[in-house]
Amino acid sequence: MPSRVMGALSTKYLPCLFLQRVIKMVLLFLSTLLGLILGKTSFLSLVIPGTRRKKILFYPSRHQFSVSASGCQDAVPSITAKMGLYLEGSVSPATPDVRITILAAGNSKYAMLKKGDIATETKTNSDGSFFAGPLYEDIVYEVEASKAGYHLKQTGPYSFACQKLGQILVHIYGENDTEMLPAVLLSLSGEGGYRKNSVSGSGGTFSFDNLFPRSYYLRALLKRNINLLHQQLLLISILESLERLSSVQPVLPSVPWVLLHC
């Protein structure tokens, strides 16, 4: 009689024990897979023929629970795998190396992202296009573009218009190359109420950067003594096609040097 009872009990609990072993094996496999391949990012690479390399994200990226040593195991929460969200856009006219910043517009439940955090960054290719991801799709994202010497205006969710800005280089010199000049006040004014004042060092070169195409007036003030100010007024036009000057002698199209003789 006791042997029959033990046999009945063993048969009764056999499905639960078998299920526990299966669950442990599955958990071990997932733990190893996530630990070795996924790491902290929790995504899996997947190459799709004819497309760019894309990755799978897991929702959620991890679960924490305990395995019961006796009795039946509770249901294990499921992890869903989805293709990551990718944002594709462009800059027109085509401009390479534009910095593209993807910002979280809300708090994510699956990624460690809060509103305003940087989700990822990339740069445009030679054709002006960019491809950013993978991203979790539970929140909306904002896209920003920037590049030194350029003005970028967003024209669509993932598209930008790009305009190259001009630069005025001012070289200040005296009667001879060895003469040391005191600080010079440079005042640049332009259309639309633009005005900028800067104090240069003793001689050398000073630059006004990030200027939109328009006409500018440059005034230089040098204090010779208490009652005397030497000044010079120049009209400078910056056109759409002008490029940044790379040498002392300007080669058109370029932004001209302004030589101020004090």
Secondary structure class of 105 (helix, strand, coil): coil
- The pLDDT of residue 253 is 30
pLDDT digits over 74-118, tens only?
777 788 888 889 999 999 999 999 999 999 999 988 888 899 999
Q: 169 and 258 in contact (C-beta within 8 Å)?
A: yes
The DSSP 8-state label assigned to residue 41 in this structure reads: T
Q: What integer is the mean pLDDT of 185-198?
A: 82
Counted residue by residue, the chain has a size of 262
Q: 185 and 232 in contact (C-beta within 8 Å)?
A: no
Mean pLDDT of the chain: 70
- The pLDDT of residue 261 is 38
The DSSP 8-state label assigned to residue 33 in this structure reads: H
Q: Pairing state of beta strands 85-92 and 159-164?
A: parallel
Domains of the chain, earliest start first = 84-164 (2.60.40.1140), 167-261 (2.60.40)
Q: 82 and 28 in contact (C-beta within 8 Å)?
A: no
Q: What integer is the mean pLDDT of 18-33?
A: 60
Residue position matching structure tokens 């200040």: 172
| Cα distances (angstroms) measured from residue 101 to each of 69, 132, 134, 247 | 49, 9, 14, 33
- The pLDDT of residue 201 is 63
Cis check: omega of the bond before 93, within 30 degrees of 0:
yes
- pLDDT band with cut points at 50, 70 and 90 for residue 34: low
**Nearest of 94, 92, 26 to residue 65 by alpha carbon:** 26
Q: Per-residue pLDDT for 243 more than 80?
A: no
Which residues contact residue 198 at a Cβ distance below 8 angstroms, ignoring those fewer than 6 apart? 185, 186, 188, 206, 208
Q: Per-residue pLDDT for 2 more than 50?
A: no
Cis check: omega of the bond before 49, within 30 degrees of 0:
no
- The pLDDT of residue 84 is 87
Q: Which two tokens stand for residue 69?
A: 């040593």
